Amino acid sequence: MAEQEQKQPETEQGTEQESKPEQTAESQQQAEVTGGDQSQPQDEVAEGDQPGTGEGEGEEAPEEMPLEQVVGQLQEDVAAAREMALRAQADAQNVKRRAEQDVEKARKFALEQFARDLLPVVDNLERALEAASGDEEAVKPIAEGVELTLKSFLDAMKKFNIEVVDPQGEPFDPNLHQAMSMVENNEVEPNSVVAVMQKGYTLNGRLVRPAMVMVSKNGG
């Protein structure tokens, strides 16, 4: 009995020793399986790390412009910009000049309508003076008063550059005169003003009213 009991532990130890190699083999197999699985991603990573051929490969990079060509283009751009600036400056000066001219014209001829409305008053004073130029003593004070009034009017008009156009005996000028009739007169040159029916007036050189005249012509 004692010997059997002693053999039994030995048998169990032997069984344990026999099972260890089996476990070791299983462990190796698992390790191999695990190792194989681990090596696979590395291979994939390695394959992924390998340089591939992209679509852009093989295409040549665009050639850069030569420096002289770049400088020439820039010079052309600068010249064009300078020309545009000069044109804009010239246009601005023209606009300014026209505005100044318009202001000057408005200042010069602001009284044109007033002068045109005033001329009939002057005409009536001149007619009254002609009518009162008789020898009657009672009319002389009236004539003197009308004459002074007319002179005051003409002096005031002259201050504002309103000038009288009285072309008696002068050559006919269609820019200043309006011919009312033609009369034969061999004593003066043809196309001469032989009579002024109504005086004309200018404002700063601009005609406000033409002088109404009679013009001579050669006799038949």
Q: Which CATH number fits the domain 162-220, given the four candidates 2.30.22.10, 3.20.20.70, 3.40.50.2000, 3.90.1150.10?
A: 2.30.22.10
Place of tokens 């011919």: 179
Determine the average pLDDT of the residues in 42-56.
Answer: 48
Q: Which of 202, 123, 198 is nearest to 162 (CA)?
A: 202
User: What is the percentage of the chain residues whose pLDDT exceeds 70?
Assistant: 70
Report CA Rg, the chain. Answer: 61
CA angle 204, 210, 215 (to 5 degrees): 135
> Residue 122: its pLDDT value, please?
94
Distance from CA of residue 1 to its chain's centroid?
A: 129
pTM, two decimal places: 0.55
Structure tokens at 10: 């030995």
Model confidence at 184: pLDDT above 60 = yes
pLDDT in tens, 133-182: 777 777 888 888 999 999 999 999 999 899 999 999 999 999 999 999 99
Taking the C-alpha atoms of residue 16 and residue 192, their distance in angstroms, rounded to an integer, is 159
